[in-house]
Chain A
Amino acid sequence: MARATKGTLIKCDPSIKQLILKLNIENNNNIILQNIDNSYNNNEQESVLLIDGVYLEFLKMELDRLLSKNIFEEEEENP
């Protein structure tokens, strides 16, 4: 018999998915409800995850923080 699971579906790049997996481990596996392997679905490149909706905002903030680490602003020029 089919089951219905409440949660928040997330679509993202595979690279972002890896970051989410890392965050999930750091948070005692509370975030991800179901890790869906989407790699053979209609040749789609995006990754799909089912997470607990409570963590959505936290996840977005953390992703933003992690990704910002890799941005390098142009240095101020000296006149």
Chain B
Amino acid sequence: MSTSIDQNINVLNTPEDSVSQEENVEENNENMLKTSIIKYVTSLPSMVKLRLYSQSSTTLSIYRLLPPLGKFLIMGLLFQEFDDNEDILDEDDMDIDEDDDDNRLNQKSNLKPPSVKDIQKWVFGQAGYLEFYKTLRILENLDIFMISDREASNTATTNMFSNKADESGNVRLNPIFQTALRESIIAGNVHNSFGVLRKDIPITDQMSVDELDTYAAEKWETILHFMVGTPGMKAPDDTVLKLLLHGELMMEVGTESNNSILSKSNNADDDEDYNDKQFQRVAELKITNHGFQFLLQEINVQIWSLLLQYLKMSEFLKLDIVVILNFLFMLSSLEFGKAYSTIKMNKFELFLLKEFANYGLLLKNSNEDWFYPTRMSTILTSDAISIRTSSAAMNNVIDSAKMNKSAFHKQDTKKQKILEANEFAKRQLIEKDSTLSNTNVTTFSQDLVNGAVIIETNFKLYSYANSPLQIAILSLFVHLKSRFNNMVLGQITRDSIRRALRNGITAEQILAYLETHAHPQMIKLAEEQLEKKIGFDSMKKRQLDLANGKVSNSSDPDSIFRLQILPPTVVDQIKLWQIELDRVISADGYLYSEFSTMKEYTDLVKYCQDIGVLVWKNDRKKLFFVEKEGNDQVIEYAKRLISRNSN
């Protein structure tokens, strides 16, 4: 279809649905990236934050999640009293708490809150000094710090990148946060915010640490198994499925609308019918690009990203976020292996208890009025492993093998929580076969290589994987041929990779997975080759230097040579297969042609370039192509040009 410029305007005024769709997609991508809980809390309105901070366990959990400098700053201010009569927040509450705390605190000093500059002096010259303003901003955004008396002129021109605006003003802790955190530290009046311990549980009903671990792992693995579509596994609870769909970790494929999970009511009366439906659903759901990324993450990143999705879904369903968050933070500060009472819980909290049991965060039998938190909930706020990335996964596999030799199964209950959490995460990574973990007779050498992958240059892949989960993940992009007692053999083929690519898994994700799960032997080989290369290179350089009579200046060899764990042929081929799917690059828009003068052409091209809508141009032929979205503007400009020229 070819029209003149004037006619085009009518064409473009027709409504475009695609624009709004694109916005949605972008938003969801952003949601996936916002996995950090701190960011989530920051995004809440300040009234919600204030309600959150009234719980001692919540403040303590948030405190634990903060960067070290943030902790230091809060501690510095926590037990200081300032003359803050301008405070709008309830004074009465404060006074009562102070009575409980300490008599010395009762004597209010007439100190002014310290200014930002004063606080900065605390950290001057220290290692984290440069982080000061960043940390300050985090705390302020969290509404933990209240900075008053900012110079008005500065706040008006607050610039993200200049620190000037931050330098004025006085810093004070949010009184609600301050009170609650004090209470939790000095074990004051915490209003059961750390749960109610039960000690009167009959011995027959008590759960051991091992039992809890097995339970949590089973619950969690059910979800992961379901995501990779392991055949013969039972599907997780309906609410979990809804969450996976809502978080776009999985999607429904090619079904009629009445089969959709989200639209389905809970009218599954008789059991047979229900089972049937469940079976259907398993076939309907497919893992997405996001879902695959999710599988590659650390376990507590996984838990948090699922829980954040849960919070977002709750927001959507108009549930009270504060209660859910407080409940989660309460869970995270409970002691592992102890039972807690549910007697004082309200209906909503009991509902949450049931919900989170689906994810293996806690164990509660329906006929009992107590529950056990599992290790998964107690690692929620231990920052030691929340910062781990998947690249560290490899080290863990090696580390844990060493740990195995010492005392893997004999778990010392007095061990630090972090150590426990680390071990749990490692165990998750190793993915021990459930049958093997029951018997507890796994050999150490097997653990070392469990799940490790070897890839040969002929695209053959060997994986020492025992667990169905790991095999299922591999089968997403590998053509598996045979399975042996402790390993599987497969081949990376064009078809298998294309299938994965069509499912939305990217080549980079596949390569990242293979790299993190590479067998130690492959890494050793790669290191040896790298050393050889570097050695050869430096030898050549020395010869060159000698010939030229120069003193060699040590250049960084890492910049030239990178450790190549995977065979380059395989890496390149997988990337080529991805490119191959997109043999043509296309763009919707308008082609401008038949310009009478070069000036006309260059004026318009320059304008298109300036507003960033130019896709392609050919100066010789006086042709250029403009994006659909920017065409209106270009036409407007062209009209103005024409009218100017005619005058």
Contact = CB atoms under 8 A, between A and B. Distances in A.
- Genuine A/B complex: yes
Contacts of B625: 9, 50
Given A36-B621, A71-B494, A3 B2 contact: yes
B537 interface: no
Contacts of B588: 7-8, 53
Contacts of A3: 2-5, 592-594
Contacts of B580: 67
Nearest to B482: A79
B641 to A, nearest CB: 10
Contact of A5 (B493, B591, B615): B591
B403 interface: no
B126 interface: no
B620 interface: yes
B584 A59 contact: yes
Interface string A34-70: 1011101100000010101100100110011001000
B621 A9 contact: no
A73 B587 contact: no
Contacts of A40: 620
A26 interface: no
B600 interface: yes
Interface centre among B1, B493, B601, B635 (most CB of A within 10 A): B1
Contacts of A34: 591, 593
Contact of B590 (A6, A13, A73): A6
Main secondary structure of the interface of A (DSSP, over half): mixed
Contact of A4 (B491, B494, B583, B591): B591
B618 interface: yes
Contacts of A56: 586
Nearest to A50: B591
B351 interface: no
A73 B580 CA distance: 16
A18 to B, nearest CB: 12
A38 B618 contact: yes
A2 B5 CA distance: 8
Interface in B572-596: 580-581, 583-596
Given A36-B621, A41-B620, A9 B589 contact: yes
A25 interface: no
Nearest to A76: B481
Count class of interface residues, chain A? 35 or more
B514 interface: no
Given A9-B625, A11-B584, A71-B494, A2 B620 contact: no
A19 B111 CA distance: 81
A21 interface: no
A36 B592 CA distance: 12
A55 to B, nearest CB: 11
A43 to B, nearest CB: 12
A70 B580 CA distance: 13
Contacts of B592: 2-5
Nearest to B642: A1
B631 interface: yes
A5 B1 contact: yes
Nearest to B494: A71
Contacts of B591: 4-5, 7, 9, 34, 50
B106 interface: no
B163 interface: no
Contacts of A33: 2
Interface in B445-463: 459
Contacts of A9: 586-587, 589, 591, 615-616, 625
Contact of A2 (B587, B615, B638): B638
A37 B491 CA distance: 43
B11 interface: yes
A66 B10 CA distance: 39
Contacts of A64: 581, 583
Nearest to A7: B591
Contacts of A48: 616, 618
Contacts of A73: 493-495
A6 B11 contact: yes
A9 to B, nearest CB: 5
A41 B626 CA distance: 18
B192 interface: no
Contact of B584 (A41, A60, A71): A60
25 contacts: A1-B596, A2-B592, A2-B594, A2-B595, A2-B596, A2-B638, A4-B3, A4-B8, A4-B626, A4-B635, A5-B3, A5-B590, A5-B592, A6-B8, A6-B590, A7-B589, A11-B584, A12-B584, A36-B621, A48-B616, A52-B1, A56-B586, A63-B583, A63-B584, A73-B495
Interface of B: 1-5, 8, 11, 459, 491, 493-495, 580-581, 583-596, 600-601, 604, 615-616, 618-621, 623, 625-626, 631, 635, 638
Interface of A: 1-13, 16, 20, 33-34, 36-38, 40-41, 48, 50, 52-53, 56, 59-60, 63-64, 67, 71, 73-74
Closest 3 CB pairs of A and B: A12-B584, A11-B585, A4-B590
